[in-house]
Amino acid sequence: MDAEVISVGIVRQALDAGAVNMADVEAQLGPGAATLLRESLAVKDAPSRVDVSDEEVASAVRKSCLSSFDIRAVIIELALKLDAMKHLDAVPKHQQRTTSLEVLKVYAPLAHTVGAGALSKELEDLSFWRLYPQAYAKIDQWLSDQEVDCKNVLATSKEDLLRALTADEELHRTVDGADIKGRYKSRFSAMKKLVKDGRRPEDVNDILGMRVILHPRPDADGCRACVRTHEVIRAMWKEVPGRTKDYITRPKGDGYQSLHVAVDMSDPAPEGKKRPLMEIQIRTKDMDAAAVFGHALYKGCLTDPDESQKLKAIMLAAAEVAAQHLRDDEPTGGGATAAITGVGNVDRAFRQLDKNGDGRISMEELTELMDDLGAGGQDAEELMRLLDDNNDGSLTSDEFALFQKRVRIMNNIKNILYYY
């Protein structure tokens, strides 16, 4: 963390308290710090103009924050949100709930995306506690009863597995190393599992979890390395039949790849201690990056601000062209967002771009749209990858409608920046 981030983090709290103003910051810390401060304020205000209880909207806000702002501004706001969540008693109840919902739907997932998993879980649990205190208390008691023993088992298992992988001759030839991460299920994650699957607490089988991230050498077969790791695990622990899921050979619809294995960590002695199962995920570093950050384009947004700004510009320009098609068909006036916001307008714009009427915007049809912008085929491919949530190579009407939501949120965020 650089000095500029630290100084802006300190000054942000003074600015929020009214002790300093933006002109003071720019004069004392320079234009770079002032810009970072403005962007951190914009990240703070991003959820305030939309309904974040709508998951599609919340997702669009998160992605817009990553593509619109310096990643350091996002990290500053995440740290301040954690501090705020720990001191919410001083604000009115309705504000506590509003803040907790924003943290749960926007900031905790953002923390996960930027690689701050521990921060993400803490934000989730604090929000869960504020929003559903009675449910939190019951789940907390259930998890606390076995937490110490399970975390000790987890720590020992990580050491044992890393030692076994390092000693394996085949892996020694094909990978440069492995990272092993362990986790004990968070309160919020456990609640989601109980609600989603309708299970009883004793039927939740993934309280313990490990993730093995392999670093294959450039000339090595990463998939084979994952299989070999599975073989090593199977030799160490008792694998639970029927719970292995191979998403490497058969990826999920969104491209997710990983090998999931469940092992029984109970003491094998006749009177040994009964413990929850442990789920182990095995993947390469590239598979992990795609799983954590979502689509590769959004992974790029974290490390290449120029590329993220280019993609944002493509999205906004594509929305303008789509709106122009709509205005040419039935003049309505107004700008791109105004022309295409309504449900009926979104449907009509989709039909305008769906030239062959098959209910999907194909790569060829999207390329034609990009030609109207004077852009090339590569930009069309980037836009398709950005918007094609199910990775089938085309855009459905639902994906197109979500695209319009993202554009509207980008415009809202742009207005917030103008304010600051």
pLDDT in tens, 295-329: 434 334 444 445 445 555 555 556 665 555 555 55
Q: 117 and 183 share a domain?
A: no
Q: 33 and 162 share a domain?
A: no
Q: 126 and 145 share a domain?
A: no
**Is residue 211 in some structural domain?**
yes
Q: 317 and 353 share a domain?
A: yes
What's the structural domain count of the chain? 3
**Is residue 299 in some structural domain?**
no
Furthest C-alpha separation in the chain: 79
**CA dist list (Å): 42 to 36, 74, 171, 412:** 10, 9, 47, 10
Q: Which domain holds residue 257?
A: 140-293
**Is residue 174 in some structural domain?**
yes
pLDDT of 36 above 80: yes
Q: Which CATH number goes with the domain that contains 382? A: 1.10.238.10
Domain boundary among 90, 114, 131: 131
Q: Which helix (H) or strand (E) holds 120?
A: helix 117-131
Q: Which CATH number goes with the domain that contains 123? A: 1.10.3210.10
Q: 240 and 353 share a domain?
A: no
Tokens representing residue 244 in the block: 């292995």
Q: Which CATH number goes with the domain that contains 268? A: 3.30.460.10
Question: Long-range CB contacts (< 8 A, 24+ apart) of 370-378?
Answer: 370/314, 370/318, 372/321, 373/314, 373/317, 373/318, 373/321, 375/314, 375/317
pLDDT of 415 above 60: no
Q: 407 and 374 share a domain?
A: yes
Counting residues of the chain whose pLDDT is more than 90, the rounded percentage is: 37
Q: 289 and 309 share a domain?
A: no
**Is residue 212 in some structural domain?**
yes
* pLDDT higher at 411 or 123: 123
Q: What is the pLDDT of residue 106?
A: 94
Q: 229 and 359 share a domain?
A: no
Domain boundary among 293, 318, 336: 293
Q: What is the pLDDT of residue 241?
A: 92
Q: What's the whole-number mean pLDDT along residues 91-112?
A: 93
- Amino acid identity, position 282: I
Query: Which pTM value belongs to this model?
Result: 0.66
Residues 43 and 69 sit within 8 Å (Cβ to Cβ): yes
Tokens representing residue 60 in the block: 């669009």
Q: 258 and 118 share a domain?
A: no
Q: Identify each DSSP E strand in 198-297 by its residue range.
A: 208-216, 238-239, 245-246, 259-264, 277-284
The helix, strand and coil proportions of the chain, stated in percent and rounded to the nearest 5, come to: 65, 10, 25
Q: 251 and 123 share a domain?
A: no
Q: What are phi and psi of 364, to 5 degrees?
A: -65, -40
Parallel, antiparallel, or unpaired: how do β-strands 238-239 and 208-216 relate? unpaired
Q: What's the whole-number mean pLDDT along residues 23-30?
A: 89
Domain boundary among 239, 273, 293: 293
Q: 30 and 92 share a domain?
A: yes
Residues 208 and 153 sit within 8 Å (Cβ to Cβ): yes
Q: Is 273 exposed, middle or buried, given 0-12, 13-18 or 19+ CB atoms closer than 10 A?
A: exposed
**Is residue 298 in some structural domain?**
no
pLDDT of 236 above 60: yes
Q: Is 327 exposed, middle or buried, given 0-12, 13-18 or 19+ CB atoms closer than 10 A?
A: middle
Place of tokens 């300093």: 20
- Distance, CA of 96 to CA of 85 (rounded, Å): 8
Place of tokens 């790029």: 300
Residues 209 and 185 sit within 8 Å (Cβ to Cβ): yes
Q: 246 and 113 share a domain?
A: no
Counting residues of the chain whose pLDDT is more than 70, the rounded percentage is: 79
Q: What is the pLDDT of residue 341?
A: 45
Dihedral-angle region of residue 281 (phi above 0 means left; psi in -120 to 50 means alpha; beta otherwise): beta
